[in-house]
Amino acid sequence: MTSAVGHHHGPATGITRWLFTTNHKDIGSMYLIFSLLMFFIGGSMALVIRMELVEPGLQVVQPEFFNQMTTMHGLIMVFGAVMPAFVGLANWMVPLMIGAPDMALPRLNNFSFWLLPFAFFMLLSTLVMDGGAPDFGWTFYAPLSTTYAPPSVTFFIFAIHLAGVSSILGAINVIVTIMNMRAPTMSYMKMPLFVWTWLITAFLLVAVMPVLAGTVTMMLTDIHFGTSFFDAGGGGDPVLFQHLFWFFGHPEVYIMILPAFGIISQIVPTFSRKPLFGYASMVYATSSIALLSFTVWAHHMFTVGIPLVGELFFMYATMLISVPTGVKVFNWVATMFRGSMTFETPMLFAIAFIVLFTIGGFSGLMLAISPADFQYHDTYFVVAHFHYVLVPGAVFSIMAAAYYWMPKWTGNMYDEYLGKCHFWCSFVGLNLTFFPMHFVGLAGMPRRIPDYSIQFADFNLVSSLGGFLFGFSQLIFVLVVVKCVKGGKKAEAVVWEGAEGLEWQVPSPAPYHTFETPPEVK
């Protein structure tokens, strides 16, 4: 509490600094550390999955536990790792990039963070409950997740509620900060793209997280209070659940990728030493992706028996999304063209992002073709697709951001050699893991199965080896972070030669309080 009173002082000492802090940098760091922890927990579950899939047959785990692992892996990675990591980056960087002294609602900020450990403690505790953890997939389709769910489903619902509240509060905070706290001379069209993409993401969060909350509330009342939203016997409809879920779920996908677009749009110009190509079109492309994301949800449900007209509408709308996404990729390439490039770790991650995310985008376009989706749907091709957009997409952008801004956060340069090791191991590991999944998916391997027929054996072995390489490579990142926090070459205020923006005007490490008087924006 003392730090809140005497705001010219530095941080409080000991545990109270972290429990009661209202400082955006402290909270940002806590979000980032929390998400890294979740990344490892979710990742080890992925390794359990890959271990079982090394060869045909059941050897490591039983099917029921396997289903718990796929479910928890998905939930933890989406709600525990990727989303909090972006919120952490927003906390750290948005005030610095718009010249604000802190987030607009600092106490709310503290509250939003501290909801998360409780939410995920509750979710993880279901693993030791009678009947096991949720085992109905991260998409928790009814009635598997209602009538047929293990007793722990109630804890799962409550955990989703808590994580959802945390996200919504975080989003409100980001919107108010960006709209009201910018330095007076920073107009909307002068905002860095990371800020822009986060503003749009925050609006998406406010729009769809409440729908998710409503959906799990309906599940709760179906399970415990005798309603029949999703039970055909009582006049409900299990397909309604899928509509509600994907009405949230598709914008959610963009929630996890728009901030990544922002990060890449910061990093590519810096290391190309050239302004971002097509700033305005980037803003418009991001906004149109966000708007279109509300009109495409049923492309996740092409096989549930949607009428022909609906099927065609959702196919066309989905195909249309590739246009603004393509514009972004073209803009990044045009930014590199005729630049003066160097390839430090953040740039390597950014380039890998562009290439691999584009591959994920292509498979997404293929999946949009509804007739073809009848063959792709619920196979490993889909698993390959969304891991290509989420791992080298969301996760690589977070890694890129961490390397890019770590010197600003710690005041020390990270170990470039280790950083590059981390990059190359991750790059090789993830392609080994996820690329063969395209092949087994096309050859007919359904997703979410603990055992498979023998023709899929070879590629699955490759995937598993790649998975372990990718998983253990992330330990290098921990080493880099620890080394960087402890010491290293001192970082300048402007860490990177081509870096532009307000965050580089403050010294490295960024002092506990920054921009107490608004800076001047050119």
Partner 1 sequence: MKERSCSSAALIILAALWSVSAQADWALNMTEGVTEVSRSIYSLHMQIFWICVVIAIAVFSVMFWSIIHHRKSAGAKAEQFHENTTVELIWTIVPVLILVAMAVPATTTLIEMYDTSDSDVDIQVTGYQWKWQYQYLGEDLSFFSNLSTNPDEIYNKVEKNENYLLEVDEPLVVPIGKKIRFLVTSNDVIHSWWVPAFAVKRDAIPGFINESWTRIDEVGIYRGQCAELCGKDHGFMPIVVQAVTDEDYALWLADKKASIAAEVAAAARIWSLEELMERGEKVYQTNCAACHQVGGQGISPMFPALKASAIATKPEQIDEHIKIVLEGRAGTAMQAYAAQLSAVELAAVITYERNAWGNDTGDIITPQSIQSMLKSK
Partner 2 sequence: MKSNRKLILQLCGATVGMFLFGFALVPLYDVFCDITGLNGKLELVAKKNTGVIDTSRAIKVQFIANTNENMPWDFVAKDVEMTVHPGENARADFFVQNLTNEQMVGQAIVSVSPSIGAKYFHKTQCFCFDRQVLNGKQAQEVSVLFSLDTDLPDRVKKITLSYTFFDITDLQPVAAN
What residues are annotated to the active site? 73, 102, 138, 166-167, 250, 252, 254, 265, 299-300, 325, 328, 447
**From the list partner 1, partner 2, none, partner contacted by residue 499 (C-beta under 5 to 8 A by kind):** none
C-alpha–C-alpha distance, residues 163 and 123, integer Å:
10
Shortest Å distance, C-beta 282 to partner 1:
10
Q: Does 179 bind partner 2 (CB under 8 A)?
A: yes
**From the list partner 1, partner 2, none, partner contacted by residue 353 (C-beta under 5 to 8 A by kind):** none
Total residues binding partner 2 (CB under 8 A): 40
Q: Does 211 bind partner 2 (CB under 8 A)?
A: yes
Instruction: List the structure tokens of 206.
Output: 């406010």
User: Is the CB of 41 or the CB of 457 nearer to partner 1?
Assistant: 457
**From the list partner 1, partner 2, none, partner contacted by residue 180 (C-beta under 5 to 8 A by kind):** partner 2
Q: Does 498 bind partner 2 (CB under 8 A)?
A: no
- Binding segment (CB under 8 A) for partner 2, from list 45-53, 225-233, 436-444, 496-504: 225-233
Q: Does 207 bind partner 2 (CB under 8 A)?
A: yes
User: Is the CB of 114 or the CB of 138 nearer to partner 1?
Assistant: 138
Shortest Å distance, C-beta 307 to partner 2:
5
Instruction: List the structure tokens of 25.
Output: 């940098």
C-alpha–C-alpha distance, residues 89 and 405, integer Å:
9
**Burial, 492: exposed, middle or buried (Cβ in 10 Å; 0-12, 13-18, 19+)?**
middle
C-alpha–C-alpha distance, residues 255 and 242, integer Å:
19
C-beta separation of 111 from 76 below 8 A: no
Query: Residues 6 or more apart from 71 whose CB is under 8 A from it?
Result: 133, 134, 135, 136, 137, 138, 140
Q: What angle do CA 48, 50, 54 make, to 5 degrees?
A: 120
Shortest Å distance, C-beta 178 to partner 2:
10
Please tell me whether residue 520 adopts helix, strand or coil conformation: coil
Count, residues in the chain: 522
Shortest Å distance, C-beta 168 to partner 2:
6
Site for partner 2 in 308-327 (CB under 8 A): 309-310
Sign of the C-alpha dihedral, residues 12, 17, 22, 23? positive
Q: What angle do CA 222, 223, 225 make, to 5 degrees?
A: 65
Q: Does 329 bind partner 2 (CB under 8 A)?
A: no
User: Is the CB of 161 or the CB of 422 nearer to partner 1?
Assistant: 422
**From the list partner 2, partner 1, none, partner contacted by residue 218 (C-beta under 5 to 8 A by kind):** partner 2
Give me the residue label for tokens 């927003």: 90
Please tell me whether residue 446 adopts helix, strand or coil conformation: strand
Shortest Å distance, C-beta 137 to partner 2:
20
- Binding segment (CB under 8 A) for partner 2, from list 28-36, 41-49, 80-88, 304-312: 304-312
Shortest Å distance, C-beta 198 to partner 2:
15
DSSP secondary structure code for residue 514 in this structure: -
C-beta separation of 302 from 370 below 8 A: yes
Q: Does 101 bind partner 2 (CB under 8 A)?
A: no
